[in-house]
Each structure stands twice: as C-alpha cells, then as structure tokens.
C-alpha cells in the first residue's frame, strides 16, 4: 500500500489530450485547487511549484500513467513530486460512492484526488526509474494493434477465397500467414492465374520460403483447383483485391517480427525477465504484458488480489434459493486476463499443467472453463514467484492430479 502519511496535498489529474482538469485536496478534504490545466510543461511546472510553495509535499495522481498522462508525470518527477496512479477500473467503482450521476472532468479529478486521500490502498506505484517498462508498454501496445490488423486482413482473405473457390481456401486457409502462401497470393490473385503459372513456377517461388513444404503445397493447390470447374461471379474483382491484401498482411507480419525482437531485448534487460519466462507457457509477448500490468507484484497484498485484478477470480451469484453458483468474472484487466489465458493454453504441453487441466475436464468443466481454472492457478504461482524472487519449480504430476 502507498504510504500517504507525509503528503500535504493530493493533486488529482483527469488527463486529456490538450488539457487536464486538476483538483487538489488537503489531508482534511478541503479543495486547494480546481481548474482546467493546459497539457504543457510551463503550465504544469507553474501549478506544481505553486502547490509545493503553499502546502509542501505534493502527491500527483492520474488515472492514465502512459500516453496522455506521460507528460504531467515526467514534469512532476522532475520537480520532486511523488507520483502514483489510480487504475481506471478502480476509479469507476469508487465513483459510485460519490453523489450524482453526472460524469464530468471536474468530478473525476476530485474523485481521483479524494480517493488518494481517503483510500490509499487503491493506488498503484509508478517506478520513475524503470524506463524499460515504459518502452515495453508503448511497443507492446503497438504490437497489439498490429495483431488486430493482421487478424482483420486475414479474415478478409479467408472470406474472399471461400467466396470464389472454397476448395482452394481449405488448402491455403490453415497456412494463410505462411510466407510461402502469401508470396503466391501476392503474385497470383485468382485460381485461373495460379493454374496458368504452372506447377514448376509455383514450386520455384515458394521453395525459398518453404523448402520442405513447397512441392506438397503446390500439389495440394492443384488438387483443389481440379475440384471446381465453374467460375464464381466476383472472381475477376477478387483477383485485384487478393494480392493487395496478401501484401498488406505480409507487411504487418514483418513489422510484428521486428517488434518481437525489440520486445525480447527489452524483456531480457529487466531483472524479473528470467523469473517470468521460467514458467511454462510464458513467452516473450505474454511475459512483457504481465510485466507491464503486474510489475514486481508488490502492489497486490495477496494472490487473490492479483487474480481479481486480472478478472480470474470467480464471481459468486447467490440470491435466495433459485440462483446459486459461481461464474467467471466479467471485470478486471482484460489484457492481463488474456495474457494469463494464452499462457495457460501454451502451457498444456507441460505435464503438470496438463494434468491439472485434465482433472478439471474430468470434473465436468468445458475447455474454456478448465483453461480459466488453470490460468487462476498459474496466477497464484506467479504471485509467489514474484513475491519470493524465485524461479518456477514444476510439481510432480501425481501431486498436481490430486489437487482440486
């Protein structure tokens, strides 16, 4: 928990692109400042200096520590102010405790400042020295955007191929992001163009990208082409679109490869890197996301708090005698939940994780439920690893199988 005993004024910033709303409250809850503030260094310095001169120690609290909240925090650190942030999800829950249904920047800034004063346990520390996490957050965020774009383009390609030649899509679809397949689609956008190119040319083009798969891939393509003799309306238009989509998908995937290299470099420089990646299923991207969202885990009092923050703690639903049971939580940090879920799926190759998953399936849970149970268990283990600074130690499969 953040120690606020020596704070003389709490400054809440509801950050914005061009300007912020700043509200400062004293330890007694009295407003000391309540105005809009341009998002410029001179104006920020002026306010911080004024509060320091009049009150003393200033705690600057934001609801977004990165992006549009980065400049105020950088200026505050430079001027010797303490900085923390109030997670947006927590802030929205706290807002329900305050009167009125209106949502304004002024009200949000006051809630941020007053929550820091009255509920310091809701605050999370910001390590001003850890530039690695700041850079990771920016790069991983961009990588997430690229992943979404890759999915969108790939789905569009799947749809076009299915529309004009379903048999060809069944061959190319599962391999759509393979460089050899994308190379062929960039050169030949229709079934007729692929057939006209001939087997030898297709093998020659695809072999540099897929030395062992080239001949088999081409044979599968021509077998699929032989299954359809009619030309579906729209095929000629698709011939113009498919190469463009394939080229776009190639560019996005190449960008992700470059980012993956940089993410790996940054992750390796962090002291917690080897602790995180020692756990089966935690790779470069999931490890980076966990590091960004969890840090060293010190802001979470217990493993249960971490699980709740990640949305992995089940929500109990009891009402009289008709509604009883537990359901997966729909709250929490969705990016962190996704990272735990993906790492759990990747860990199914680990014998201990697989044994735990199989036990949940045997208890009647379906695949997603069993994976969420495994993700929750792994969150508990990860919390202990971060707390003690220890590497992952696999349990005997027999011991795991006996656990609930």
> Where do you find CATH 3.30.420.10 in the chain?
9-126
What pLDDT was estimated at residue 271? 87
What pLDDT was estimated at residue 321? 55
- Could you tell me the pLDDT band of residue 318, with boundaries at 50, 70 and 90? low
DSSP class of 319: B
Candidate from 37-46, 222-231, 296-305, 315-324 with smallest mean pLDDT: 315-324
The mean pLDDT value for 321-338 works out to: 71
Structure tokens at 69: 């909240």
If one compares 348 and 69, the residue with the highest pLDDT of the two is 348
Is the separation of the CB atoms in 63 and 69 below 8 Å? Answer: yes
What number of other Cβ atoms are within 10 A of residue 273's Cβ?
18
DSSP H helices, 295-350, are 303-309, 334-346
Q: What are phi and psi of 326, to 5 degrees?
A: -125, 140
The mean pLDDT value for 40-44 works out to: 94
What pLDDT was estimated at residue 295? 84
What pLDDT was estimated at residue 42? 95
If one compares 35 and 135, the residue with the highest pLDDT of the two is 35
Is residue 327 over pLDDT 70?
A: no
Reduced to 3 states, what is the DSSP secondary structure of residue 353?
helix
Mean of per-residue pLDDT scores for the chain:
89
- The Cα 41–Cα 300 span in angstroms is 33
If one compares 321 and 390, the residue with the highest pLDDT of the two is 390
What pLDDT was estimated at residue 128? 47
> Where do you find CATH 1.10.287 in the chain?
136-264
- Could you tell me the pLDDT band of residue 125, with boundaries at 50, 70 and 90? confident
What pLDDT was estimated at residue 127? 62
On whether the 136-264 domain is CATH 1.10.287, my answer is yes
Is the separation of the CB atoms in 18 and 48 below 8 Å? Answer: no
- Could you tell me the pLDDT band of residue 69, with boundaries at 50, 70 and 90? confident
pLDDT digits 0-9 by tens, 79-88: 999 998 888 7
- Which residues lie closer than 8 Å to 15 by C-beta, 6 or more apart? 39, 62, 63, 64, 68, 69, 72
- Could you tell me the pLDDT band of residue 223, with boundaries at 50, 70 and 90? very high
Is residue 316 over pLDDT 60?
A: no
Candidate from 14-23, 131-140, 245-254, 256-265 with smallest mean pLDDT: 131-140
Prediction pTM value: 0.71
If one compares 360 and 63, the residue with the highest pLDDT of the two is 360
- The Cα 172–Cα 164 span in angstroms is 13
Is residue 275 over pLDDT 90?
A: yes
Looking at the structure, give the CATH architecture of the domain made up of residues 9-126.
2-Layer Sandwich (3.30)
Is the separation of the CB atoms in 242 and 189 below 8 Å? Answer: yes
What pLDDT was estimated at residue 403? 57
- The Cα 316–Cα 331 span in angstroms is 13
Is residue 317 over pLDDT 70?
A: no
The mean pLDDT value for 386-393 works out to: 91
- The Cα 246–Cα 260 span in angstroms is 21
- Which residues lie closer than 8 Å to 387 by C-beta, 6 or more apart? 297
Q: Give which of 159, 158, 168 is closest to 217, Cα–Cα.
A: 168
């Amino acid at each position: 928990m953040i120690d606020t005993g020596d704070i003389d004024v709490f400054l809440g910033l509801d950050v914005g692109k061009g300007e912020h709303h700043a509200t400062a409250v004293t330890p007694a809850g009295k407003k000391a400042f309540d105005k809009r503030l341009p998002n410029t260094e001179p104006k920020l310095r002026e306010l911080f200096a004024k509060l320091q001169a009049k009150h003393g120690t200033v705690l600057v609290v934001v609801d977004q520590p990165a992006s549009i909240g980065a400049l105020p925090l950088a200026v505050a650190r430079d001027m010797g102010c303490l900085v923390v942030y109030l997670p947006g999800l927590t802030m929205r829950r706290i807002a329900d405790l305050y009167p009125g249904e209106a949502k304004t920047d002024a009200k949000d800034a006051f809630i941020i400042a007053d929550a820091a004063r009255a509920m310091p346990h809701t605050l999370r520390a910001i390590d001003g020295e850890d530039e690695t996490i700041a850079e990771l957050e920016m790069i991983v965020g961009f990588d997430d955007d690229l992943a979404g774009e890759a999915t969108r383009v790939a789905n569009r390609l799947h749809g076009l191929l299915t529309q004009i030649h379903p048999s060809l899509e069944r061959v190319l679809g599962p391999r759509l992001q393979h460089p050899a397949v994308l190379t062929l689609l960039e050169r030949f956008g229709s079934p007729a163009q692929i057939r006209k190119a001939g087997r030898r040319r297709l093998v020659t083009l695809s072999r540099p990208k897929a030395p062992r798969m080239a001949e088999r891939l081409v044979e599968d393509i021509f077998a699929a082409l032989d299954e359809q003799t009619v030309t579906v309306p729209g095929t000629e238009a698709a011939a113009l679109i498919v190469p463009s989509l394939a080229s776009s998908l190639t560019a996005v995937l190449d960008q992700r490869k470059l980012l993956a290299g940089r993410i790996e470099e940054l992750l390796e420089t962090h002291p917690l890197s080897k602790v995180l990646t020692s756990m089966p299923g935690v790779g470069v991207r999931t490890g980076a996301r966990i590091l960004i969202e969890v840090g060293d885990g010190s802001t979470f009092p217990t493993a249960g708090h971490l699980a709740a923050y990640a949305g992995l703690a089940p929500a109990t639903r009891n009402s009289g005698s008709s509604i009883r049971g537990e359901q997966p939580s729909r709250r929490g940090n969705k990016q962190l939940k996704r990272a735990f879920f993906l790492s759990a799926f990747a860990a199914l190759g680990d014998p201990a994780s697989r044994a735990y998953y199989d036990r949940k399936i045997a208890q009647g849970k379906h695949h997603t439920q069993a994976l969420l149970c495994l993700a929750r268990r792994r969150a508990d283990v990860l919390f202990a690893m971060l707390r003690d600074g220890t590497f992952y130690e696999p349990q005997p499969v027999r011991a795991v199988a006996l656990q609930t």
